[in-house]
Amino acid sequence: MDNNTAIQLVNITKSFGAVKANENVSFDIRKHEILALLGENGSGKTTVMNMLAGIYYPDEGEIFVNGKQVSIKDPKDAFDLGIGMIHQHYKLIDVFTALENIVLGLKPGDNNDMASARTRVNDICSRYGFEMDLDMKVYDMTVSQKQTLEIIKVLYRGADILILDEPTAVLTPQETERLFTIIRNMRNDGKAIVIITHKLNEVLEISDRVTILRKGHFIGTVNTKETNEKELTEMMVGEKITLDINRDLIEEKHLRLQVRNLTVINNENKKVVDDVSFDLYSGEILGIAGISGSGQKELLEAIMGLQKSEEGSSVIYYSTAHGVHELVGLSTREIISYGLHLAFVPEDRLGMGLVGNMGMTDNVMLKRYRKGKGPFLHRAQPQQMAIKIKDELEVDTPSLDYPVRRLSGGNVQKVLVGREINNKPTVLMTAYAVRGLDINTSYAIYNLLNEQKKHGVAVVYVGEDLDVLLALSDRILVLCNGKVNGILDGRSAHKEEVGMLMTNLKKGDQHE
């Protein structure tokens, strides 16, 4: 151990019930360095860092900070040791200003009055290159600004070791660049930085060393300069896999959905979907890009009859089997009972798409439980379907009655997508279909979507990873503030172009 080692973890083990989240994990974090902690979802990255932040306490193992063995019982212990973690879900008070959030919880005295706090915060900002209006209220901030505020807050409390949990998940490419610049500044200033991530290109761009975890185990640490995307993937997944997404061009296309002037106003009287018009064809994947909360969710829900559309909206559904229908004005129940084959994989899998406490059979039955005569349920057919889905998609579940909420994220999504595909849809809409899934399951889902496209299904793919959107989609529709800010060809579009459209409304569209 040399003077540069900030934290050393030795044989850390942590389990939750039967689940071993970490088993004998050992690695070190150094000053003047950016360490990427790489692993798939469920590999235990966040758990091990939460033990440094005082959220969890390890079952076994030792932690050394600056050479001394320590016991981190709560977040205060972590702060005293100079460890600060920026979680995925920000912990800010909405109605307070940036500065108020920074000093919140600190004892008065020690130069923590507002005036001297302001000076010190300004020092931090100019030192690392933050741009922040200290009097802005949190509810007026973008996601990126909130993240900046969280980082400043941690630095203000004197952290020398910063842990960032999936910091780029919610950022546009431009915002990511800005964040990386700041991270480099902090490293050059001598801080130790850990970035938890599963995005390989970012690992290669920003980090100095990479530590890889897989299924709770420590796999290895490599120097970023001496590795490549392929090697990292193999270490992360444990086998060789190809990272190519197929994109066939289907020549035969039929109009399936014609969306015109679709407008949705939410409870807070805000136009969340604003005059959206587009066409959707069979045999294509239409990608929908946008920073989170740009109206993606509401758009899909409005088509499904789950959100009320405003007057003047029109969604016309064309299908060979069922003729032409105007969907605006129909309830979800009517759409289902007319036999219209609209499949929808919502963003909130267990909160909207499935019932967590029910097993596969009862979940497969969800949209078809009314079928069959009489007041009682007919479980025989759904059970057959559940068996079919379990076999075809290789769902790993102890039994068809086992509550789906206890399955892993990937298996939950397989049940949901399996059910929606099973009904032979004409239109298949998916929202964040691979969020939180491991690489293998993600590619299984991409393949399923591609297969559906080949069968002539019109597929909508709302996504957040621009690389995937660009590789998978035939066309990309970019939403910005609920408006369509451009529809690009998936094969020729550039990432930067999409990123710009996500954040900057085109001129001429800006005035109401």
Binding residues vs other proteins (CB under 8 A): 15-18, 57, 59, 68-71, 73, 77, 304, 306, 331-333, 335-337, 344, 346, 348, 350-358, 362, 365-367, 369-370, 375-377
* Cα–Cα distance, 267 to 264 (Å, whole number): 10
| Min CB(405)–other proteins separation in Å | 10
Nearer to other proteins, 277 or 357 (CB): 357
| Min CB(431)–other proteins separation in Å | 12
| Min CB(489)–other proteins separation in Å | 33
**Tokens linked to 143:** 């996601």
Quickly tell me which residue has 């009655």 as its tokens.
401
**Tokens linked to 215:** 């299924």
Nearer to other proteins, 204 or 355 (CB): 355
Nearer to other proteins, 278 or 338 (CB): 338
Nearer to other proteins, 71 or 246 (CB): 71
Residue 150 Cα distances to 87, 108, 122, 164, 369, angstroms: 9, 20, 15, 10, 47
Q: Between the CA atoms of 123, 124, 126 and 132, what dihedral angle is there, to the nearest 10 degrees?
A: -110
232 CB-near residues (< 8 Å, 6+ apart): 38, 200, 203, 204, 210, 212, 222
- Exposure letters 33-69 (e unless 16+ CB within 10 A, then b): bbbbbbbbbbbbbbbbbbbbbbbbebeebebbbbeee
Question: Are the C-beta atoms of 283 and 249 separated by less than 8 Å?
Answer: no
| Min CB(321)–other proteins separation in Å | 20
Nearer to other proteins, 311 or 376 (CB): 376
Nearer to other proteins, 312 or 372 (CB): 372
Q: Which helix (H) or strand (E) holds 62?
A: strand 60-65
How big is the CA angle at 458 (ends 457 and 462), to the nearest 5 degrees? 125
Question: Are the C-beta atoms of 488 and 498 separated by less than 8 Å?
Answer: yes
Nearer to other proteins, 82 or 490 (CB): 82
- Comparing C-alpha atoms, which of 6, 11, 44, 21 is closest to residue 162? 6
| Min CB(408)–other proteins separation in Å | 15
Nearer to other proteins, 137 or 368 (CB): 368
| Min CB(295)–other proteins separation in Å | 18
* Cα–Cα distance, 58 to 196 (Å, whole number): 19
Polymer length of the chain: 512
Nearer to other proteins, 39 or 58 (CB): 58
Residue 467 backbone dihedrals phi, psi, to 5 degrees: -60, -45
* Cα–Cα distance, 436 to 41 (Å, whole number): 6
Question: Are the C-beta atoms of 315 and 326 separated by less than 8 Å?
Answer: yes
Q: What is the DSSP string of 230-272?
A: HHHHHHHHSS--------PPP----EEEEEEEEEEE-TTS-EE
| Min CB(500)–other proteins separation in Å | 34
| Min CB(392)–other proteins separation in Å | 22
| Min CB(383)–other proteins separation in Å | 14
| Min CB(18)–other proteins separation in Å | 4
